[in-house]
Amino acid sequence: METLNTDFSPHSSQIEVLDALNNEGIFRKNNFKYITLCAGRGWGKSLMAMFQLIKWGFSAPNIKLMWVTPYSIQNRLIYRQLLEILPGNLVKESNGTDGFIRLANNSIIYFKQAENPDSIRGVHVQYLIIDEAQDISEDAFNSVILPTTQYGKKILIIGTPKVRNGILYYYYNLGLAPNEIYKSFKYTVYDAPKTKEQLDELQLIKLNIPFKAWQSEYLAEFCDTEGSVFINILDNALLDGFSDPLPNNQYFSGIDLGQAKDYSVLSIVDSEYNLVYLDRRRKQDYDTIIDAFSRKIKEYNDAVTLWETNIESYLFEQSKSKIKNLNSFNTNRGSKKEIIEHLAVLMERQKIKYPKLPELIKELSLFEGKYNATTRYVQYSAQGGAHDDCVISLALACWSVLNYKNRKIQHFFI
């Protein structure tokens, strides 16, 4: 086969996995069908898997293979990377819209996403790679993905651990005990060769990322919670519902005004960080939303309000006459880090309470921090394009408590 457009040279721990996939080396007498790989970021699992997929594809003519990711954006990335690796004369046909690459020997690689399980139905393959398996639902895997390899030869399940449940955790544990069907591997980021500069970079990441995220993302440890920024999510959901304003209480609110498909959210907390009210709206004009928010803020003793003004800042100026104690908050990477980590500390120390609101619980669970090696900063956002409007609104309300509690009420325009 012609040389590929990549300088991939497997390191020792990758060779161990490749031997299990190809019945070579110490595994030459084995024939595992399910190989599960849990590895930290930067170990090289995706590149290794692409190399293996190509090897399977050219092992014989007319082989059918499939690469499954949780979301379409990941799917398109793998598709493009494989086309970059494969020399042109090894590709007979490719189609990014339909999601396939037909190799020169007539083998075909399908690219599918678990978020659209109907697109997977009816496909039958000999080789299957499940990428980012920690984010694929058990229902999609068991009812749609797994049946595609009923008579298949090999299934490679790869991912970075999160919680102690789901398909990655399940198959990883199946492969720990000696058997002839399942084999599992787990490696940290340090199990791949690193230069001094890379080691220094990892140390910097460790100092800046939440400890739980470091454990799962880089040490490949399964955690009790979903690896998000916040812990004790359900433990803090102790309130039976919202509470009416008390005459002598001071209240604090946060407004995150959404655009297009996003929600606009108002959160109101008391001075002890109890969430007493939350309003979540979309598909309404801004005037309607702001009128509703301002009435509720006034009802809660003119709550001291932080308004995230990165979007539609003119609306903030127009609302000064409606909201008495109104303060602007400009979100940048530094200020966002402050409000999110303040909320995370409240969650960790169980200093905050809220009702068991499904959307709030979901957003808190899916909120994560990722280190950006280019900016050398932790980026906080919702996973996989999920909403984070409730999180931002609540974080703003709590930041308002921290900054304005017991201070003389006045107008702050910052």
Domain map (residue ranges) of the chain: 12-196, 251-404
Q: How confident is the model at residue 226 (pLDDT cuts 50, 70, 90)?
A: very low
Sign of dihedral through CA atoms 316, 358, 353, 395?
negative
Percentage of the chain exceeding pLDDT 90: 61
pLDDT at 410 over 50: no
* Residue 117 pLDDT: 86
- For the residues 277-302, what does the mean pLDDT come to? 92
Given a contact cutoff of 8 angstroms between Cβ atoms, the answer to whether 365 and 357 are in contact is no
Burial of 414 from C-beta contacts in 10 A (0-12 / 13-18 / 19+): exposed
Q: H-type helices in 272-374, by residue range?
A: 286-299, 313-318, 333-348, 358-365
Judged by average pLDDT, the poorest of 87-96, 203-212, 240-249, 288-297 is: 203-212
Pairwise CA distance, residues 337 & 368, whole Å = 12
The predicted-structure confidence for 172-207, as pLDDT tens digits, reads as follows 999 999 899 999 999 999 999 999 999 999 998 887
Give the three-class secondary structure for 266: strand
Give bridge partners of residue 102 from the DSSP assignment: 93, 108
CATH pick for 251-404 out of 3.30.505.10, 3.80.10.10, 1.20.58.760, 3.30.420.240: 3.30.420.240
pLDDT greater than 90 at residue 331: no
Q: What three-state secondary structure class fits 281?
A: strand
- Taking only the tens place, the pLDDT of each residue in 27-41 is 999 999 999 999 999
pLDDT (average), residues 269-276: 97
> In sequence order, what are the beta bridge partners of 270?
251
Predicted model pTM: 0.62
Closest C-alpha among 123, 131, 173 to residue 150: 123
CA angle 224, 226, 230 (to 5 degrees): 95
Q: Which residues contact 215 (CB under 8 A, 6 or more apart)?
A: 221, 223
pLDDT band at 265 (very low <50, low <70, confident <90, very high): very high
Residue range 266-279: average pLDDT?
Answer: 97
DSSP 156-220: EEEE---BS-HHHHHHHHHTTS--SSEEEEEE-GGGS---HHHHHHHHHHHHHS-HHHHHHHTT-
pLDDT of residue 3: 64
For residue range 124-155, list pLDDT tens digits in order: 999 999 999 988 888 889 999 999 998 889 99
Do strands 108-113 and 100-103 pair parallel, antiparallel, or not at all (unpaired)?
antiparallel
Burial class (CB in 10 A: 0-12, 13-18, 19+), 360: buried
The alpha carbon dihedral of 165, 166, 167, 168 has a sign of: negative
- With b meaning 16 or more CB within 10 Å and e meaning fewer, what string describes 56-88? bbeeeeebbbbbbbbbbebbeebbeebeebbee
pLDDT-based confidence at residue 372 (cuts at 50, 70, 90):
low
Domains 12-196 and 251-404 are alike in CATH topology? no
Under 8 Å between Cβ of 258 and 338: no
What is the structure's pLDDT at 21?
A: 96
Q: Which fold has domain 12-196?
A: Rossmann fold (3.40.50)
Residue 136 is classified by DSSP as S
